[in-house]
């Protein structure tokens, strides 16, 4: 990635100014994110709320480097994401971001342990090192007894714990979760939220999470409410 000319401010992990993402549908602009400015601190647990279509997933995709802004500036770990080419952006994601989605996105032909180890193997980490790390994460996620099962043989909560363990494999600076409990019953969802909160509190991971769940409110350091691509309320 090369050295940054700007001193790295470890207190701010994300900093966005006038960030916008406009989609064009049949010539009509949809301002999914509209001039959002925000700063997210190292170690924060930030919850994004807002109605369907308010821009939560779009904002998360921008911060994760999965999508690019139409205008504005976005720095993550003091890296200006607009300056990165697609290969550098992929490397940025691999090294710095752990993503968790509503739909788990596990590979059905791999075991739980292999799914967890995959990001490290894809980054070129040696098999025995990746395997050791995967073993630790299996333990952390209380999945040791499921290591050799396939995703079709485990419960929804176990699938999401597998996905979270996979997201931790490359020691990300940032965990980005998009409705991680959307496909789970409320009791299982509550346990998953608690697991993510523990990662924030005990492992000091920065978490940015979009969720409709009211259970997350008490866990959050701050809550941003999105409405038509704007942050309308921040607590
Ligand atoms: N790839 C795309 N092409 C065109 N429009 C898009 C695209 N992605 C999102 N949008 C539009 O941008 C707006 C914000 O969408 P987004 O998915 O960010 O909302 P959301 O808050 O995550 O909603 P939900 O709670 O349903 O997940 C919506 O109007 C949506 O239709
Ligand atoms: Mg969404």
> Nearest-CA neighbor of 155 among 187, 124, 200, 109?
187
Pick the CATH number of 44-68+82-234 from 3.40.630.30, 3.30.110.40, 1.10.1330.10, 3.40.50.300: 3.40.50.300
Of 57, 179, 226, 227, the residue with max ligand 1 atoms within 8 A of its CB, to mutate for a pocket test, comes to: 57
Please compute the mean of the pLDDT values over residues 60-75 and round it to a whole number: 97
Name the residue of 25, 50, 52, 58 whose CB sits within 8 Å of the most ligand 1 atoms, as the mutation to test its pocket. Answer: 58
Confidence label for 235 from pLDDT (cuts 50, 70 and 90): confident
Residue with CA nearest ligand 1 atom 6:
23
Ranges of beta strands (E only) in the chain are 12-25, 28-41, 45-49, 71-76, 79-80, 97-101, 174-178, 206-210, 222-227, 230-234
What residues contact residue 187 under an 8 Å CB cut-off, 6+ apart?
A: none
Q: Per-residue pLDDT tens for 21-61?
A: 999 988 899 999 999 999 999 999 999 999 999 999 999 99
Q: How far is the CA of 213 from the centre of ligand 1 (A)?
A: 19
Q: How confident is the model at residue 108 (pLDDT cuts 50, 70, 90)?
A: very high
Is 8 a residue whose pLDDT tops 80? no
* Ligand 1 surroundings by CB, under 6 angstroms: 23, 25, 30, 32, 50, 52-58
Q: Is the pLDDT of residue 105 over 80?
A: yes
Q: CA-CA distance, 94 to 120, in Å (whole number)?
A: 9
**Average pLDDT in the 4-13 region?**
56
> Which strands form 79-80's sheet, in the order they lie side by side?
28-41, 12-25, 71-76, 79-80
Instruction: Work out the end-to-end distance of the chain between its first and last CA atoms, rounded to an integer number of angstroms.
Output: 35
Closest ligand to 55 CA? 1
**Residue to substitute in 19, 30, 63, 213 for testing ligand 1 pocket (most ligand atoms within 8 angstroms of CB):** 30
pLDDT at 98 over 50: yes
Residue pLDDT, tens place only, 110-161: 999 999 999 999 999 999 999 999 999 999 999 999 999 999 999 999 999 9
Specify the residue with its C-alpha closest to ligand 1, atom 16.
55
Question: Mean of the per-residue pLDDT values for the chain?
Answer: 93
pLDDT of 10 higher than 70: no
Residue 173 C-alpha from the chain's centroid: 10
The CA-atom distances, in angstroms, between 128 and each of 132, 134, 171, 210 are 6, 10, 17, 35
């Amino acid at each position: 990635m090369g050295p940054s000319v700007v001193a790295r401010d470890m207190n701010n992990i994300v900093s966005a100014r006038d960030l916008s993402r406009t989609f064009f549908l049949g010539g009509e602009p949809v301002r999914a994110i509209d001039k959002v400015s925000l700063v997210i601190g190292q170690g924060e647990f930030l919850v994004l709320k807002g109605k369907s279509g308010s821009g939560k997933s779009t904002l998360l995709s921008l911060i994760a480097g999965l999508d690019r802004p139409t205008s504005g500036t976005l720095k993550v770990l003091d890296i200006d994401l607009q300056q990165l080419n697609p290969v550098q952006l992929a490397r940025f994601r691999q090294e710095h971001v752990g993503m968790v989605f509503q739909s788990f996105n596990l590979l059905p032909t791999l075991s739980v342990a292999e799914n967890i180890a995959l990001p490290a193997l894809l980054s070129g980490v040696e098999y025995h090192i990746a395997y050791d790390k995967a073993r630790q994460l299996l333990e952390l996620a209380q999945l040791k007894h499921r290591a050799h099962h396939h995703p079709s043989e485990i419960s929804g909560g176990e699938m999401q714990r597998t996905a979270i363990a996979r997201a931790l494999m490359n020691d990300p600076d940032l965990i980005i979760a998009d409705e991680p409990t959307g496909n789970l019953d409320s009791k299982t969802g509550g346990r998953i939220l608690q697991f993510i909160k523990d990662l924030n509190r005990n492992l000091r991971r920065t978490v940015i999470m979009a969720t409709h769940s009211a259970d997350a409110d008490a866990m959050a350091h701050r809550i941003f409410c999105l409405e038509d691509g704007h942050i309308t309320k921040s607590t």
